[in-house]
Structure 1
Amino acid sequence: MLAQSIRASRQALARVARQQPAFVARRTFITPTAVRSADLVQDLYLRELKNYKVPQVKASDAEGSVQKFSIPPTPASPEESDIASELKSYETQTVEVEGAAGEDGAALPEEDWFEEEDEGTTPAAH
């Protein structure tokens, strides 16, 4: 039975091969369908780039843009006699402390910031 089916398939293949014309394999080159059109703006830009000449730089070109450097004058030194008198007045100056005795000599009462609670008293229960 297997032999008959193989024979039948061979005969069918032979019949199909006779009916169709021979298949010829061809190589084809695929070209894009849109034709590349010339880009006028790009062509103009490239032409101008090729024709551009860089101007020569001269040393005198920076005359109006750059200022001449001049060393600033040295500052005047303070007089040493003034420093000595100012230092003496600073040393003799009285120091003002907030909370200290005023001009009349009365001292302000000193506040005790740390007060201890008595251990004998117990807080009332709420």
Structure 2
Amino acid sequence: MLSSIPLRASRTSLLRVARQQPALRRTFITPTAVRQADLVQDLYLRELKSYKIPQVKASDAEGHVQKFSIPKAPASPEESNIANELKDYETQQVEVEGAASTEGGAAPVEEDWFEEEPEEEEAHH
């Protein structure tokens, strides 16, 4: 009997404390907008699950890929032709810009590229 007395006392004291405090309850808050089934998403997922990947064959690439062929080697220039062109270049006359006018015996005409125009005086009234 003595063992049940402390249990009753603790139970009654808990009830008394619970009555004095405002009611605290754990509640589940439901969102206002209820989730409706998305038909498009369900159809999409069902089609994804039912899709079977086709098997790849070795002959599938025949119409889409060209056969590789090694390109032709470029023709090498003829060595004798290069030698003739080099001789022609060495024997060519060098052209100098001012040399043509001095051969005629006349002195080159010196041109003045920067010429100032005379300023006109304004008529004073």
TM-score, normalisation: structure 2: 0.61
Instruction: Give the corresponding residue for 1:106.
Output: 104
Aligned-pair CA distance for 1:88: 0.8
Q: Aligned partners of 1:108, 1:47: CA distance in 2, in Å?
A: 100
Instruction: Give the corresponding residue for 2:6.
Output: none
- Identify which of structures 1 and 2 has the higher relative contact order when contacts are C-alpha pairs closer than 8 Å and 6+ apart: 1
Q: What pairs with 1:1-126 in structure 2 (closer than 5 Å)?
A: 23-101=22-100, 105-106=103-104, 109=107
Aligned-pair CA distance for 1:67: 0.9
Aligned-pair CA distance for 1:110: 5.5
| 1:93 aligned partner, one-letter code | Q
Structure 2 residues not aligned, in runs of 5+: 1-20, 111-125
RMSD: 2.6
The count of aligned residue pairs is 91
Structure 1 stretch displaced more, 26-35 or 83-92: 26-35
| 2:79 aligned partner, one-letter code | E
Q: Aligned partners of 1:98, 1:107: CA distance in 2, in Å?
A: 16
Report sequence identity in percent.
Answer: 73
- In 2 relative to 1, CA 25–100 (structure 1 residues): closer, same or farther, beyond 3 Å? same
- In 2 relative to 1, CA 60–107 (structure 1 residues): closer, same or farther, beyond 3 Å? farther
Q: Aligned partners of 2:33, 2:107: CA distance in 1, in Å?
A: 104
Q: Aligned partners of 2:47, 2:103: CA distance in 1, in Å?
A: 95
Q: Aligned partners of 2:80, 2:22: CA distance in 1, in Å?
A: 118
Could you say what secondary structure the match of 2:41 adopts?
helix
